[in-house]
Amino acid sequence: MSENTSHPLVPKNIEQLNRYIAGKTIAEVKEAYNPAKIAKLASNENRLGCSPKVESAILEAFKEIQDYPDPIARKLRAAIAQKNGVKESEVILTSGSESLLSMLCRTFFLNKQNAITANATFVGFFVQAGVRGIHLKKIPLTDDYRFDVKAMVNAIDDQTKMIYLANPNNPTGTYINKKEYEWLLEQVPEHILIVADEAYYEFAESVEDYPKALEYDNDNVIVLRTFSKAYGLAGFRVGYGIAKEEIINNLLKTKLTFEPTTLAQAAALAAYKDDEFLNKSIKVVNDGKERLYRFFDEHNVSYKKSISNSVMMILPTEEEAISFTQKMLELGVILRRINAFGLPACVRITIGIEEEMDHFEECFKKVMTNS
Ligand SMILES: *Cc1c(COP(=O)(O)O)cnc(C)c1O
């Protein structure tokens, strides 16, 4: 059969979509370059690993592996509700917050409605919106790499359904402060859903003028969090959303019934209860950031101060960013160029443990003296 061009097999919005390209895996780098040591500092994971309590929890949960998972993750949901002072019915668990972003895109939009976000933010949202053919108004960051809250509000029109804020932002590590967030809340009409993606909440919450979206108690805000970053469970895929029941109940209709899996729920619950490991992880990141700032200052490298677990380095040109990242990769330091996030001359460095930061500094010096 010949293809009917007005009814193509693959719709245009899918054909034109760019796939999410993840950071390189350790196995890929070993195979390609076989460096003596590898530091994976590309994907904002927890380089300390995860809570030691997770292993026995998943072994226990394995006994129930023949049964379908609890579709609303009752135990985990209760723990999250309790810690955050919300009702259990205001919490939804999903396979990573990426899944929740996907659900938000397929639940709230009518044809032709748009979403507003920044031009340099979490690329996972660009991908999920693209899948649904949602028009994105990508507002340029300010000159100092921050969300331009005023310009975002100015971009609201009749067809705007959602405002997506990653706070703190990935890949820049910058944040919308309390004053800006409060102003935004006053300006945005109630029928527009504000998505406050707090994937790095645990690293940010102690920053004085960081607005914790939950504390404002709005009907049209959903807060997104994840177990992939501070809790070190990226491989399990667990994220959650907190919002009023009207939002959660409708999301429960569009969710894949049995996400997250039984083992993932058990792992997340064990991790969630282990404050000691969490605090240790936060300390590793804070110490590592201070060390990296000093190192960059000594070497006259431009960067942005960050309240997440990564630091963005600003190179003079895209060519230099490509060459720097490639040379570091060959020496065994996996970094993330963030061209897909909208910043072609920038490179994102996840804060690792001490040995990894040693390796980063050593390789950095080698690369810089040889070029
Ligand atoms: C890493 C990240 C996510 C995705 O987390 P998962 O729970 O692993 O899907 C979502 N939003 C932002 C801003 C992130 O950086």
Domain ranges of the chain: 12-49+276-370, 53-274
172 three-class SS = coil
- Answer whether 44's CB lies under 8 Å from 170's CB: yes
CB of 239 sitting under 6 A from ligand 1: yes
Residue 264 CA neighbour count, 13 Å, CB half: 25
pLDDT digits (tens, 9 = 90+) for 211-225: 999 999 999 999 999
Token pair in block for residue 128:
């999920």
- DSSP H or E run through 161: strand 160-166
Strand partners, 116: 137, 163
pLDDT value of position 342? 82
* CATH superfamily entry for domain 12-49+276-370: Aspartate Aminotransferase, domain 1 (3.90.1150.10)
Instruction: Enter the pTM of the model.
Output: 0.95
Closest CA to 174 of 339, 307, 42: 307
pLDDT value of position 339? 87
Residue nearest atom 12 in ligand 1 by C-alpha distance? 199
Strand bridging mode 310-314 / 343-350: antiparallel
List the single range of 4-13, 68-77, 313-322 with lowest mean pLDDT: 4-13
Give percent of the chain above pLDDT 70.
98
| CA dihedral for 28, 197, 310, 141, sign (positive or negative) | positive
The pLDDT confidence band at residue 239, using thresholds 50, 70 and 90, is very high
CA of 38 to the centre of ligand 1 (A): 23
CA of 92 to the centre of ligand 1 (A): 16
- Answer whether 336's CB lies under 8 Å from 170's CB: no
Same fold, 12-49+276-370 and 53-274: no
Average pLDDT over residues 222-243: 98
pLDDT value of position 16? 86
pLDDT at 79 over 70: yes
Distance CA 337, CA 110 (A): 34
CB of 96 sitting under 6 A from ligand 1: yes
Strand partners, 222: 195
Q: With respect to CATH, is domain 53-274 assigned 3.40.640.10?
A: yes
DSSP 263: H
pLDDT at 2 over 90: no
List, in order, residues 6 or more apart from 33 with CB less than 8 Å away.
329, 330, 332
pLDDT digits (tens, 9 = 90+) for 122-179: 999 999 999 999 999 999 999 999 999 999 999 999 999 999 999 999 999 999 999 9
Average pLDDT over residues 179-188: 98
- Answer whether 115's CB lies under 8 Å from 122's CB: no
Residue nearest atom 6 in ligand 1 by C-alpha distance? 96
pLDDT digits (tens, 9 = 90+) for 36-48: 999 999 999 999 9
| CA dihedral for 283, 288, 291, 296, sign (positive or negative) | negative
329 three-class SS = helix
Average pLDDT over residues 75-88: 98
pLDDT at 3 over 60: no
